[in-house]
């Protein structure tokens, strides 16, 4: 029965990884398309700004890649057979959590500016998400315990092996999985929020695209008229 449940769990995680990876690839492809569009717009001197869309897509891709890493470590825990594997996946999991939170704080600065300027109706919900992150940080001692682990045993190794080994020896399967699953809940909620934000900006993006097409057509007409005048001369 236990083996069957484990196999089902692995299959479920595999499906989640495949789906989230597909979403990541799709969004990153869209990001590259926007970059090419911006290059064309700049070349044609067209005054259209897709920066809000780019910022949200980069934010989404960053969060999804973190979610993928943590989901993959959960799969690792399901197939572990030794204590050292538990230590290995635990170390990497807490490193991912630490770096994700650190990078999230950087991303949210630009994102919050967009919300404040264009979408004040979404600020309260975004604040609630960040409050839940604050609770997570306090509960799992992000600034002390996780930071110390990151600086001495996962992101870096302490020169004193005793310090390093003491840190990894205290890692347990139960504590690691609990931290991962709770952080995944936060990531999923934040990703869903970004998705909702993207839906609200979709109409604006479509309108901007239409404006670009219109301006390009106008420029082509202007160019055609200039060519005609040159021929008449």
pLDDT band at 226 (very low <50, low <70, confident <90, very high): very low
Percentage of the chain lying above the pLDDT 90 cut: 53
pLDDT at 201: 64
User: Residue 145 CB: number of other CB atoms within 10 A?
Assistant: 13
Its pTM stands at 0.80
pLDDT averaged over every residue in the chain: 81
Q: pLDDT tens for residues 38-95?
A: 554 444 444 445 567 778 888 989 999 999 999 999 999 998 989 999 999 999 999 9
pLDDT at 45: 46
Percentage of the chain lying above the pLDDT 70 cut: 76
Is the model more confident about 45 or about 121?
121
**Segment 97-126 mean pLDDT:** 92
Is the model more confident about 179 or about 58?
179
**Segment 190-204 mean pLDDT:** 75
| Residue 1, pLDDT above cutoff 50 | no
pLDDT band at 132 (very low <50, low <70, confident <90, very high): very high
């Amino acid at each position: 029965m236990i083996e069957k449940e484990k196999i089902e769990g692995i299959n479920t995680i595999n499906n989640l990884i495949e789906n989230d990876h597909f979403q990541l690839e799709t969004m990153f492809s869209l990001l590259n398309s926007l970059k090419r569009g911006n290059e064309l717009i700049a070349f044609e001197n067209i005054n259209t700004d897709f920066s809000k869309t780019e910022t949200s897509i980069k934010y989404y891709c960053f969060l999804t890649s973190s979610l993928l890493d943590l989901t993959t470590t959960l799969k690792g825990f399901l197939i572990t057979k030794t204590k050292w594997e538990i230590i290995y996946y635990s170390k990497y999991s807490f490193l991912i959590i630490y770096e994700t939170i650190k990078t999230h704080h950087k991303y949210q600065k630009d994102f919050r500016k967009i919300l404040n300027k264009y979408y004040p109706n979404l600020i309260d919900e975004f604040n609630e998400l960040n409050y839940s992150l604050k609770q997570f940080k306090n509960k799992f001692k992000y600034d002390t315990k996780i930071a110390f682990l990151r600086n001495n045993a996962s992101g870096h190794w302490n020169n004193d092996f005793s310090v390093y080994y003491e840190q990894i020896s205290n890692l347990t399967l139960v504590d690691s999985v609990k931290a991962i699953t709770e952080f995944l809940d936060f990531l999923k909620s934040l990703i869903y929020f970004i998705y909702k934000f993207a839906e609200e900006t979709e109409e604006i993006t479509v309108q901007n695209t239409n404006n670009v097409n219109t301006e390009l057509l106008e420029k082509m007409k202007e160019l055609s008229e200039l060519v005609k005048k040159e021929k008449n001369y």
